[in-house]
Structure 1
Amino acid sequence: MEKSNPNKIAINFSIQGTTAIAASQSSLLSPAPTFARHLHASGGSKKIVGVFYKANEYASSNPNFVGCVEGALGIREWLESQGHQYIVTDDKEGPDSELDKHIPDLHVLITTPFHPAYVTAERIKKAKNLQLLLTAGIGSDHVDLNAAAAAGLTVAEVTGSNVVSVAEDELMRILVLVRNFVPGYHQAINGEWNVAGIAHRAYDLEGKTVGTVGAGRIGRLLLQRLKPFNCNLLYHDRLKMSPELERQTGAKFEEDLDAMLPKCDIIVINMPLTDKTRGFFDKDRIAKCKKGVLIVNNARAAIMDTQAVADACSSGHIAGYSGDVWHPQPAPKDHPWRYMPNHAMTPHISGTTIDAQLRYAAGTKDMLERYFKGEEFPAQNYIVREGKLASQYQ
Structure 2
Amino acid sequence: MITSRISNFMTGEKKKVVAVLPQGGAAAENPKYLNCVENGLGLREWLESSDHTFITTADKEGPNSELAKNLHDTNVIITTPFHPAYMTRDLIMKAPELELILTAGVGSDHIDLHAAADKGITVAEVINNEWDVPAIAVKAYDIKGKTVGTAGGGRISFEVMKRLEAWDVKRVYYDRHQKADRFDKNGIEWEKDLHSFMSKCDIVTVNVPLTDQTRGMFNKEAISKMKRGSFLVNNARGSIVDQDAVAEALKSGQLGGYAGDVWPQQPAAPEHPWRHMPNHAMTPHISGTTLDAQARYAGGVRDMLEAWIEHKPFEEDFYIVREGELASQYQ
Change (3 A) 1:82 1:69: same
The counterpart of 1:204, out of the listed 142, 158, 162, is 142
Gaps of 5+ in 1: 1-34, 181-200
1:235 corresponds in structure 2 to 173
Counterpart-to-counterpart distance in 2, 1:294 and 1:240: 27
2:235 corresponds in structure 1 to 298
Name the SS for the 1:155 alignment partner.
strand
**AA at the equivalent of 1:219:** S
The counterpart of 2:201, out of the listed 264, 287, 291, is 264
Cα deviation, residue 246, structure 1? 4.8
Counterpart-to-counterpart distance in 2, 1:384 and 1:39: 17
Cα deviation, residue 243, structure 1? 11
Counterpart-to-counterpart distance in 2, 1:293 and 1:96: 47
State how many pairs are aligned: 327
Task: Indicate conservation of the 8 Å contact 2:191/2:197, yes or no.
Answer: yes
Counterpart-to-counterpart distance in 2, 1:100 and 1:382: 25
Counterpart-to-counterpart distance in 2, 1:115 and 1:321: 23
Task: Indicate conservation of the 8 Å contact 2:74/2:95, yes or no.
Answer: yes
Cα deviation, residue 113, structure 1? 1.2
Task: Indicate conservation of the 8 Å contact 1:39/1:132, yes or no.
Answer: no
Task: Give the aligned CA root-mean-square deviation in angstroms.
Answer: 2.1
The counterpart of 2:318, out of the listed 381, 386, 392, is 381
Deviating more after overlay: 116-125 vs 52-61: 52-61
Name the SS for the 1:276 alignment partner.
coil
Counterpart-to-counterpart distance in 2, 1:346 and 1:267: 18
**AA at the equivalent of 1:55:** G
Task: Indicate conservation of the 8 Å contact 2:206/2:234, yes or no.
Answer: yes
**AA at the equivalent of 2:100:** L
Structure with larger RCO (C-alpha < 8 A, sep 6+): 1
The counterpart of 2:18, out of the listed 24, 49, 65, is 49
> Can you list the C-alpha shifts for 1:11-63, whole angstroms capped at 9, x where unaligned?
xxxxxxxxxxxxxxxxxxxxxxxx736552324221111011222111123x3
The counterpart of 1:119, out of the listed 87, 91, 100, is 87
1:215 corresponds in structure 2 to 153
Counterpart-to-counterpart distance in 2, 1:38 and 1:351: 36
The counterpart of 1:137, out of the listed 87, 99, 105, is 105
Deviating more after overlay: 371-380 vs 64-73: 371-380
Task: Indicate conservation of the 8 Å contact 2:5/2:97, yes or no.
Answer: no
Cα deviation, residue 123, structure 1? 0.7
The counterpart of 1:390, out of the listed 313, 319, 327, is 327
The counterpart of 2:222, out of the listed 285, 293, 299, is 285
TM-score by length of 1: 0.78
**AA at the equivalent of 1:368:** L
Counterpart-to-counterpart distance in 2, 1:244 and 1:364: 37
Task: Indicate conservation of the 8 Å contact 2:184/2:190, yes or no.
Answer: no
Q: State how 1:345-364 maps to structure 2 within 5 Å.
A: 345-364=282-301
TM-score by length of 2: 0.92
Change (3 A) 1:281 1:39: farther
Task: Indicate conservation of the 8 Å contact 1:52/1:88, yes or no.
Answer: yes
> Can you list the C-alpha shifts for 1:356-375, whole angstroms capped at 9, x where unaligned?
22221112112212222333
1:331 matched to 2:268? The reply is yes
1:186 corresponds in structure 2 to none
Counterpart-to-counterpart distance in 2, 1:257 and 1:244: 16
Task: Indicate conservation of the 8 Å contact 1:49/1:106, yes or no.
Answer: yes
1:40 matched to 2:6? The reply is yes
> Can you list the C-alpha shifts for 1:290-314, whole angstroms capped at 9, x where unaligned?
2212100111111111221122222
Name the SS for the 1:49 alignment partner.
strand
1:70 matched to 2:9? The reply is no
